[in-house]
């Protein structure tokens, strides 16, 4: 337990000192993006990984938060920073509406309904021009020239989300969430109000995703429906971040966020300018190939499949056996908490 605390403190220190050590705006930007994905991936993981409600529509909450901030600034003349306070609640409200409709369905049907809900939200944002400016999008002026304030804000958000998720999973709620994932009927027969706890999980998840959306609006200072309501680049990316890191682990999505942003950026920059230019144009293709690769070979993520990766890297027979066993054990015996 103590060792864990020391590691956590060291990690926190590294992240706090990062912008002092790294002065390049480019790397600071990447760190901010990765921290944003830590929050979104973690939120998805709370709803899907722990509560078992696979959402293909997290862009709904991200976009709602972003548009809440954008509309406050663009239409009401308030500062977009109010969005940071209101984006989360707006997304929760949206989440409750979505939950009201989609939680009538279970398993794959829920996942399908969230896809449709996400597409509807995107189309509304495209078509409701008096409110959202449609495809033109909302353009603001950034408050700070420097990346440092944004970095610390993103870090605070990521830290807060990790704290809330780990606390929630250690509390009674966490056990209720997992019991709903494992068997909803059994959970209900034990007196757990499944509908309440599913909505609770969705609300927490939507809150953090929405707040991140509002942060994105402030940071990037430009949004349009195709960016913030994107099925592949927000909803699927959120799933990928969680999967590549490790579903149903607290640290998995956090690790996954850094891996995903790292890989995406490597290809976007055409392997740091070493590869010919067409590589950078095909980063969307790389994204698709990554989806396929991750699902085929790393379905339990870096944290979940760590023994498997270790076995591949260190070819010692002993760890090999352990890895084989841990793979064969399957999901029922996987640790459900971080």
Partner 1 sequence: MTVFLQTLVSGLLIGGIYALIGMGMTLIMGVMGIINLAHGQLMMVAMYITYAAYTFFHLDPYLALFVAMPGLFLLGCAIQKYLLNPLMDVETIIPQNQVLMTVGIAIVLTEVARFIFSSTYLSVRTGYSTKVFFLGGVSFNWPMTIAFLLAVALTVALFWFLLKTDLGRSIRAVAQDKEAAVLMGVNSRRITIITYGLGAGLVAAAGCLLIPIFYLFPDIGRPFTTKAFVITILGGMGSTVGAIFGGLTLGIAESLGATYIGMSYKEMVGLIIFLMVLIFLPGGLKRLTKV
What residues make contact with partner 1 under the rule CB under 8 A? 48-49, 54, 56, 101-102, 104-105, 107-109, 111-113, 115-117, 119-120, 123-124, 126-127, 231-232, 236, 239, 243, 247-248, 281-282, 284-285, 287-292, 295-296, 299-300, 304, 330-331, 334
Residue 194 near residue 188, CB atoms below 8 Å: yes
CB of 133 to partner 1, least distance (A): 15
Residue 197 near residue 51, CB atoms below 8 Å: yes
CB-wise, 112 or 131, nearer to partner 1?
Answer: 112
The string of DSSP letters for 29-59 reads: HHHHHHHHHHHHHHHHIIIIIIT----S-HH
* CA atoms of 15 and 197, how far apart (whole Å): 33
CB of 290 to partner 1, least distance (A): 8
Beta-bridge partners for 211: none
CB-wise, 80 or 102, nearer to partner 1?
Answer: 102
CB-wise, 121 or 155, nearer to partner 1?
Answer: 121
C-alpha dihedral sign at 173, 179, 182, 188: negative
CB-wise, 171 or 281, nearer to partner 1?
Answer: 281
Residue 29 near residue 142, CB atoms below 8 Å: no
CB-wise, 115 or 148, nearer to partner 1?
Answer: 115
CB-wise, 190 or 285, nearer to partner 1?
Answer: 285
* CA atoms of 315 and 200, how far apart (whole Å): 44
* CA atoms of 198 and 206, how far apart (whole Å): 12
CB-wise, 310 or 334, nearer to partner 1?
Answer: 334
Q: Per the structure block, which two tokens stand in for 181?
A: 């994932």
CB of 2 to partner 1, least distance (A): 30
DSSP 222: E
* CA atoms of 235 and 240, how far apart (whole Å): 9
CB of 101 to partner 1, least distance (A): 6
CB of 305 to partner 1, least distance (A): 10
CB-wise, 88 or 304, nearer to partner 1?
Answer: 304
* CA atoms of 69 and 179, how far apart (whole Å): 36
CB of 179 to partner 1, least distance (A): 14
CB of 79 to partner 1, least distance (A): 32
* CA atoms of 126 and 304, how far apart (whole Å): 39
CB of 227 to partner 1, least distance (A): 15
Closest CA to 240 of 292, 280, 283: 292
Q: Is 192 left (phi over 0), alpha (psi -120 to 50) or beta?
A: beta
């Amino acid at each position: 337990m103590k060792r864990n605390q020391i590691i956590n403190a060291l990690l926190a220190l590294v992240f706090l000192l990062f912008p002092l050590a790294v002065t390049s705006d480019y790397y600071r930007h990447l760190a901010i993006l990765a921290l944003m994905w830590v929050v979104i991936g973690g939120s998805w993981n709370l709803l899907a990984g722990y509560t078992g409600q696979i959402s293909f529509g997290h862009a709904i909450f991200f976009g709602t938060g972003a548009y809440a901030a954008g509309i406050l600034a663009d239409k009401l003349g308030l500062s977009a920073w109010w969005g940071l306070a209101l984006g989360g609640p707006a997304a929760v409200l949206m989440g409750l509406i979505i939950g009201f409709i989609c939680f009538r369905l279970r398993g794959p049907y829920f996942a399908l309904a969230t896809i449709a809900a996400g597409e509807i939200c995107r189309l509304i944002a495209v078509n409701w021009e008096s409110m959202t400016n449609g495809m033109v999008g909302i353009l603001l002026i950034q408050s700070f020239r420097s990346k440092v304030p944004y970095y610390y804000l993103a870090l605070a958000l990521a830290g807060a989300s990790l704290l809330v998720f780990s606390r929630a999973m250690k509390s009674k709620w966490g056990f209720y969430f997992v019991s709903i994932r494992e068997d909803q009927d059994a959970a209900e027969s034990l007196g757990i109000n499944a509908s309440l706890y599913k909505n609770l999980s969705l609300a927490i998840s939507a809150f953090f995703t929405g707040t991140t959306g509002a942060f994105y609006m402030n940071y990037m200072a430009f949004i349009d429906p195709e960016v913030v309501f994107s099925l592949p680049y927000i909803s699927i990316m959120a799933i990928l971040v969680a999967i590549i890191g490790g579903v149903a682990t607290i640290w998995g999505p956090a690790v996954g966020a850094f891996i995903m942003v790292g890989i995406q950026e490597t290809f976007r920059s055409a392997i740091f300018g070493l590869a010919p230019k067409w590589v950078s144009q095909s980063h969307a293709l790389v994204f698709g190939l990554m989806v396929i690769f991750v699902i085929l070979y790393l379905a339990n993520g870096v944290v979940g499949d760590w023994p498997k990766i270790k076995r591949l890297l260190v070819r010692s027979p002993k760890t090999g056996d352990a890895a084989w066993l841990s793979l064969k054990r399957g999901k029922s015996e996987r640790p459900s908490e971080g």
